Structure 1
Amino acid sequence: MMRVSALLKWFFRLFLDFYCYIYRVLFYSSQKHRIPAIKNKILLSSAVEIADKVRTGEWKAVDVIEAHINRILEVNTLINAVVEIRKEAFRDAQRIDEMIAAQLSNSKGETVKDSILNLPLLGVPFTCKDSVGVEGMRLTCGIVRRKHVLATETAVVVSRLQTAGAILIGITNVPEYSFWWDTENKLYGRTNNPYDLSTIPGGSSGGEAAIISSCGSVFGVGTDIGGSIRLPAFFCGIFGHKVTPGIIPTRGIFPLPDKQRECFFSIGPLCRYASDLLPILKVMSRDYIEKLPKLGEIVDLSRIDVFYMEDDYDPNKTRVDIEIRGAMMEAIRYLENAFKIRCKRFFFHKMRDSVSIWVSVMKSISDTTMANSLAENDGVNHINIYWEFIKSLFGYSKHTTSMMFMALVDAFFSKDSELIERELQKMQELKQQFSYLLGKNGIFLYPTHPETAPTHGTTVFKASNVGFVSIFNVLNTPVTQCTLGIATNGMPIGLQIVSNEYNDHLTIAVANELEKAFGGWVAPCTIDLLNTKQVINI
């Protein structure tokens, strides 16, 4: 009977994937190579390189900010990633340039302890998603009713980055409530993937990934409770790190996760270069850095244990694409040959149930239903989620179809059902398995997603594929999404590097090594450094 059930699920999955393929053929044509060429070498620089050049006076912070805001204005009409530009960025840059000039002229080559020259992210432009508060700027989270809401305080993580010398230049788009794996809402519209405008950038940090990959921002602040850093980073060909939960304070985030959800919620960086992950993470985690005592230590990769799994073979999920599987196996062979280690294949059977495990955990810790939350934010006593779902299909709801789909899924699960109890038990057993297998020095390699970025409008039909990333939220593990280049269809591919809690240094070290071996980020456009200076006009 179980085999018949699995076979039926498999056929249904094939039908949905075929439907999505036909949908793309009928309603979407490829929109690749639409992003304007990169004409300024500043835009190709890492955070570390920019800080070094600004610190020595070789580059002016004002020029760095101007180059990136120009780039935002140039690409944003195509990708719709940035919802607000922070004009005060120029003032911040001018102040930094003045302080640097004064210190360089007076220090005679000496650097005092509290010198601005010691700031690790000096003059580096960054963005944050529209769920991370910045005082005086929009904080809508893609919700129509919050259209005119401004943040009353700046999130702790943003303040830390600014204190370290980084300059915030904009706020980026998110899905409604920041709760879907694509980025679209009724307030700002849809964000596009820079590699192919007809495909999704991922979510909920999709605006971040799209603008970073397009070189409009050097790095960004993302949040992750179900893959919201890793999926956009994967689809847009960059790096993203889901930090061990509890390391970076959540104050200033909307909606603020309650105490029960905080242990599954992470804030972390997205960036084009793996070499930027560590310095950014050190700044973000600041007061809690002692929880990551090995962060920054040199990792001897010849002494790590490497495990991997190519697919979970869940009939509800799309099979892992042959090129994604091939890229992962190539990475494994590289690690084996370069460091004389043996990578071991290990199959976690309970990973097949990743979606139901994640949904069950989220439901078990929720004090209210999504329908009640939607009604509260709409200013009404009750919302008919079935009627709103139908309205959303025809564009007559103030909510997106994906949001209403999630509300329907939430309504389907009873908090006290036997199914939830069973899935929670699986989660505990899987967590124990992971902890025992990886130990203090192990990593686990796993696909970030089974296919490259899907076409717009198909994510509801492929929602179960999110299980590849969401399972690690309920396991409380740190994860680094590592890009591995471009597939033959011109879209980015990559993998997840997972370790036990507080072993973030291991996943980042492996990501750095794989970036060196496979080239890392590949620009979604041509590069022409015979640049003509552009005029900024905000």
Structure 2
Amino acid sequence: MKELLKLGALDLAEKIHRKDVKPSEVTDLFIDRVESINPALNALVVPRFDEARIEAKKADDVLMSTPKDELPPLLGVPFSIKEVFGLKGYPNTYGSLRSKDNLAEHTATVIARAMDAGAIPLGLTNIPEWGMWFETTNLVYGRTNNPYDLDRTSGGSSGGEAALLAANGTAFSIGSDIGGSIRMPAFFCGIFGHKPTNKVVPNTGHIPMTNDKMQDFAGNRYPYVTVGPMTKTSKDMFFLMSLLAGADGIDTEVKQAHYDFKPDLNWKNKKVFLCPNPTYRFVAETQPELQDEVRKTGQILKELGADVQDFDGSIFKDTFLHWSTTMSTVEGLEFTEKVGVTRLSTVIKELALATIDKHTVSFHTLMVCLGELLSKGGKVQDVFLKQAKEVENKLNETLGDNGILITPPHPRTAFKHNSATFRPFDFAPTALFNYLQFPSTAVPTGFDSQGLPTGVQISATQHNDVLTMSAAWSIEEALKGQIKHQDQDHRIERQL
């Protein structure tokens, strides 16, 4: 039975559909796993085990009374919910003491779609405060640890999801991404993560876009956040993208009714551009082992027929400034107002309170507020927006609709807790594709010399999600004999 814990969503669903195992047995197995690993990880912060068991018993009845070809595709498959998504009646605190008593009044569209497909949520997972940092820690739930090394970060803001999935506490996850919040945790924890093209998957029910206020977020008021899958296999990414994408009638920026994502594994006449060591201002040089992973994956696709070329990453040097300026153009979404820190004096007060452990706002949240308060429009903003458009034009011209760019997702593998404070701009490699609104996929490739997960980031122009996920599929197939899952399990179990 324990072998089931390692399976991805579709493989586990097939076992259930064939009646090899009941949903109730699967649910009990995964709950036992979570209870075993979570004290060390602190990934699941709001369990709903009793409710999950009730739902699993109902799924047993559906399994026994329904023809196989009519069964819900994810019947009885366990997953978890990032705490930024609403699940009606459950905490929706955003990891902030200022909203610690908040309960969701609605269920987010993507969560409802997963549950309608038969999946069973085991609970809510941890986030950084307001989802605005690349380490997962907050004053409500505490800190989440990486299953490969408990002294290291699981990333953020989908760090709870990534840690739990990587440790086989669930079969799939759903994350969200505004600066790398799917891809960084996926990379640090050795799983797949896909940030879709913007406005493909509805944001309905993701803070602050609650179902009843979604009409306020349209046009120039629509945030750059995107929702996407985090998985153990590339084929699960394709399935979940097809399930989650498409209009819901509430998020008016998502226009297309349905999507059907299918892999395209023919690499002849496809272009692959390699950028193993991009230049980012304020960001350290990429770890040599991660540069090697870019070259290794490029070689895999070259052997499959792709035209592989080098790409000059010096045009990315001001990525952080381009990202932060682009984010500031969203009207009516001042982060300072959402958090309740609208004055410099409040920032100073909270920093002072932090010295005696009486603060109500996390340090990284205060830094985001400070940045917003200090940057308000003007000629400098226009310059950065113009430069950002030039980067977009260059990539559109280079990649077209049949090219991908392979880069490191981060300058280093999972780092020690709290060290991001001293390297706050290291999320630039993922933030680049948020302001461009390009699809981008984190792909695991193995382990470094310290036993930490390695990987690459594969990106393409808007609406070419199939290209990046297909590259992930081809790379996964090529590396299957090299990434030993037994070794992976050993590393995790040694920590836990």
> What TM-score do the two structures reach when normalised by structure 1?
0.84
Distance (whole Å) between structure 2 residues aligned to residue 322 and residue 485 of structure 1: 14
Matched residue, 1:389: 351
Indicate conservation of the 8 Å contact 2:267/2:305, yes or no: no
Amino acid paired to 1:265: V
Matched residue, 2:152: 199
Matched residue, 2:250: none
Distance (whole Å) between structure 2 residues aligned to residue 465 and residue 241 of structure 1: 19
2:339 to 374, 381, 384: 374
Distance (whole Å) between structure 2 residues aligned to residue 528 and residue 367 of structure 1: 44
> Structure 1 residue 517: deviation in Å?
1.6
> Structure 1 residue 374: deviation in Å?
2.4
1:280 to 219, 235, 240: 240
Larger radius of gyration between Structure 1 and Structure 2: 1
Query: How many pairs are equivalent?
Result: 476
Distance (whole Å) between structure 1 residues aligned to residue 135 and residue 200 of structure 2: 26
Distance (whole Å) between structure 2 residues aligned to residue 229 and residue 150 of structure 1: 24
1:96 to 59, 73, 81: 59
Quick check: 1:350 aligned with 2:315? yes
Distance (whole Å) between structure 2 residues aligned to residue 494 and residue 364 of structure 1: 32
What's the CA shift string for 1:392-449, capped at 9, x where partnerless? 3553311111111222222221x22222111100111111111121111111111100
Q: 1:465 to 1:356 in 2, by over 3 A?
A: same
Distance (whole Å) between structure 2 residues aligned to residue 367 and residue 488 of structure 1: 46
Quick check: 1:298 aligned with 2:298? no
Indicate conservation of the 8 Å contact 1:477/1:501, yes or no: yes
SS at match of 1:197: strand
Q: 1:468 to 1:494 in 2, by over 3 A?
A: same
Matched residue, 2:419: 458
Amino acid paired to 1:270: M
2:282 to 304, 316, 334: 316
Indicate conservation of the 8 Å contact 1:375/1:382, yes or no: no
Matched residue, 1:443: 404
Matches within 5 A, 1:414-453: 415-453=376-414
1:330 to 296, 310, 315: 296
Quick check: 1:267 aligned with 2:227? yes
> Structure 1 residue 201: deviation in Å?
0.6
1:412 to 367, 374, 385: 374
Q: 1:290 to 1:435 in 2, by over 3 A?
A: same
Quick check: 1:167 aligned with 2:120? yes
> Structure 1 residue 220: deviation in Å?
1.0
Amino acid paired to 1:284: L
Amino acid paired to 2:306: I
Matched residue, 2:161: 208
SS at match of 1:465: coil
> Structure 1 residue 368: deviation in Å?
5.8
Q: 1:344 to 1:92 in 2, by over 3 A?
A: same
> Structure 1 residue 216: deviation in Å?
0.4
Gaps of 5+ in 1: 1-38, 105-109, 530-538
2:170 to 203, 217, 226: 217
Distance (whole Å) between structure 2 residues aligned to residue 381 and residue 328 of structure 1: 44
> Structure 1 residue 389: deviation in Å?
2.4
Indicate conservation of the 8 Å contact 2:343/2:373, yes or no: no
SS at match of 2:46: strand
Distance (whole Å) between structure 2 residues aligned to residue 389 and residue 242 of structure 1: 34
SS at match of 1:223: strand
Which shows bigger deviation, 482-491 or 427-436?
A: 427-436
1:241 to 175, 194, 219: 194
Quick check: 1:469 aligned with 2:422? no
Amino acid paired to 1:280: L
Larger RCO, structure (CA 8 Å, separation 6 or more): 1
Root mean square deviation, CA, Å:
2.3
Q: Percent of aligned pairs with the same residue?
A: 30
> Structure 1 residue 149: deviation in Å?
1.6
Which shows bigger deviation, 383-392 or 195-204?
A: 383-392
Which shows bigger deviation, 401-410 or 318-327?
A: 401-410
SS at match of 1:279: helix
